[in-house]
Amino acid sequence: MRPTPLALAALLAAAPVAAQEFDDAYEVIGTLELTLGGEDHTLYALNDTERDRAYVTAQDSAGFTIVTISAVAEDDGRPARPFATLLATLEDGAVADGTVSVDWRTEDRVLMANSDSGAPADVTDFSRGDDGAITLSFSGEMQPMESGDDMDASPIEGGTPVAVEGTFTGTLPQ
């Protein structure tokens, strides 16, 4: 029995919206779901296959592992703002101080929860599997920051903090 056009339209309308479609040069290797000031955002960590550059990395240094996660929006198949960067320092497989740095940037707004802003976000859940799978959940307050062309930032005097919570789920390329 063939479905009617009306039944097909109803099925398509009920289907969940697919992840953003990036150009073939980009492979989605993770998703960052976050709520910032009550507004929900979904950003994507990518593997740039043309440049052999992953948006999720781990670097060992002096007994610690520094995990950096960058996630972006999509615009016409390409990475775009807003973007967020998470930075966690691991020691013996756990987040070293129970916090993560969070950096959020749009064209005209910079928010941070890190040592520069005075308050990193608290890690509420973290796991890293032998297969490279990473899950990181966090919550905190982000401070409005002034930023120049060099990406350095300083807190805006009298700026109102913005609540943030989020979860990253993805893979650290091996």
Model confidence at 98: pLDDT above 80:
yes
Model confidence at 106: pLDDT above 80:
yes
Q: Which of 85, 92, 91 is nearest to 116 (CA)?
A: 85
Neighbours of 29 (CB within 10 A): 19
- For the chain, give the percent of residues with pLDDT over 90: 72
Integer angstrom CA distances of residue 114 from 74, 88, 101, 155, 164: 25, 10, 4, 11, 12
Model confidence at 7: pLDDT above 80:
no
The whole-number pLDDT of residue 19 equals 53
Neighbours of 120 (CB within 10 A): 21
Instruction: Encode pLDDT of 126-145 as tens digits.
Output: 999 999 999 999 999 999 99
6 pLDDT band, cuts 50/70/90, is very low
Instruction: Encode pLDDT of 12-68 as tens digits.
Output: 333 333 456 999 999 999 999 999 999 999 999 999 999 999 999 999 989 899 999
So where are the chain's domains?
Answer: 21-149+159-165
> What letters, b where the CB count within 10 A reaches 16 and e where it falls short, cover 97-117?
eebbbbbbbeeeebbbbbebb
The whole-number pLDDT of residue 14 equals 33
Who wins on pLDDT, 123 or 115? 123
d(CA 98, CA 138): 10
Instruction: Encode pLDDT of 154-169 as tens digits.
Output: 899 999 999 999 999 9
The whole-number pLDDT of residue 24 equals 95
Tokens of 131: 């297969």
Are 138 and 153 contacting, i.e. CB atoms less than 8 angstroms apart?
A: no
Determine the 3-state secondary structure of 103 from DSSP: strand
